[in-house]
DNA sequence: TATGTTTATACGCAATGGCGCATATAGTAT
DNA sequence: ATACTATATGCGCCATTGCGTATAAACATA
């Protein structure tokens, strides 16, 4: 599982999909990392002002990690090596 | 080039290294994406409150992209397939 | 339809970002 | 040491977060 995000909105979508895959509600997730349901909601809807710390908290709860790489990873976009 | 970041501080380090590789100053970068030098500085030093939008702006200037993936990409951590 | 659950919004509040602008501090030379 | 460049900090300002709390709106599903 590997997804590129170029905007806060895309991050939100990724987070939401993942959360749903894990069959959690925003409330449950919020509890795990001490964030309000409302905060999760805003992140998922793509608020550009969301704080980095908030994102990391959420990624933790979802067992996801953030990777930075050069853009010229010439886009096997969705395919993505799965190992 | 692929780097995992688990904290705002690590993001900052990655950004700084990349900027230096590109031989740019914070001022120059700031101009490209309309951010103050001070703002870049804070991001690079790992301010957890930095906004998602700011991060994306900077990544754009550095020609980097952000990837979200499952944590269990069982750690070829530093090695990393190069492209 | 009606009930229950989940997500989006709202209010007031304290805290902080990012702005312009300016300056101090650090780093790199000569 | 001096001069120059680059980065970190500071101030006042306005905007927005995330908080607690509460409610509204959207989704299910009986």
Percent of chain B at pLDDT above 70?
87
Tell me whether residues A65 and B6 touch, CB distance under 8 A.
yes
Please, what is the average pLDDT of chain A?
90
Which chain B residues contact residue A22 at CB under 8 A? none
Average pLDDT for B15-43: 98
- Which contacts (CB < 8 Å, 24+ apart) does range B25-30 have? B29/B58, B29/B61, B29/B62
Structure-block tokens of residue A4: 């590129």
* A73 and chain B in contact, CB less than 8 A: yes
Where does the pLDDT of residue B72 fall: very low under 50, low under 70, confident under 90, or very high at 90 and above?
confident
The reported pLDDT for the residue numbered A80 is 45
Nucleotide nearest to B40 (CA to C1'): D7
Average pLDDT for A55-70: 97
Q: What is the pTM of this model?
A: 0.90
Q: How far apart are CA A33 and CA B3, in angstroms?
A: 24
* B63 and chain A in contact, CB less than 8 A: yes
Given the DSSP bridges, would you call strands B64-70 and B2-5 parallel, antiparallel or unpaired? Answer: unpaired
Which residue intervals of A22-74 are DSSP H helices? 26-33, 37-45, 52-61
């Amino acid at each position: 599982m590997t997804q590129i995000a170029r905007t806060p909105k895309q991050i939100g979508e990724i987070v939401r999909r993942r959360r749903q895959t894990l069959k959690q509600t925003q409330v449950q997730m919020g509890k795990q990392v001490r964030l309000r349901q409302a905060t999760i909601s805003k992140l998922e809807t793509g608020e550009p002002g969301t704080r980095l710390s908030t994102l990391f908290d959420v990624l933790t709860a979802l067992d996801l990690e953030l990777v930075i790489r050069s853009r010229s990873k010439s886009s096997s976009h969705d395919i993505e090596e799965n190992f």
